[in-house]
Amino acid sequence: MDTGMLWSDDDARRSLAEKVARAAEYFRNKYGEQPTVCYVHPSLLPSGGETAVAGLRLLPSKSVLVNHFWLGVNGEIGAGAKRQKAGVR
């Protein structure tokens, strides 16, 4: 993962899709790029498997706490260093 961000949302009134969409919007505004992947606790996913929400690939990870979302951008190896040298975050 070249750029990553941890987001927390425990509002029971929001659906998983709403939570992920809000986190993705914040990520876009902060980093200037669209996140491509989001790791979530397996209990948040249907059947504990991979799915897609708000244009992001959702993947299960036991190391992510419930109601937390680890968003990021997957890209070519070294892309993060190239962006950093160019002054892009």
Rounded percentage of the chain residues whose pLDDT exceeds 70:
82
pLDDT at residue 60 tops 70: yes
C-beta of residue 7 within 8 angstroms of C-beta of residue 68 = yes
Q: Output the CA–CA distances (angstroms, integers) from residue 26 to 34, 49, 56, 68, in the order listed.
A: 10, 25, 14, 14
pLDDT at residue 81 tops 70: no
Q: How confident is the model at residue 76 (pLDDT cuts 50, 70, 90)?
A: very low
Domain limits of the chain? 3-75
Distance CA 21, CA 23 (A): 5
Q: How confident is the model at residue 1 (pLDDT cuts 50, 70, 90)?
A: confident
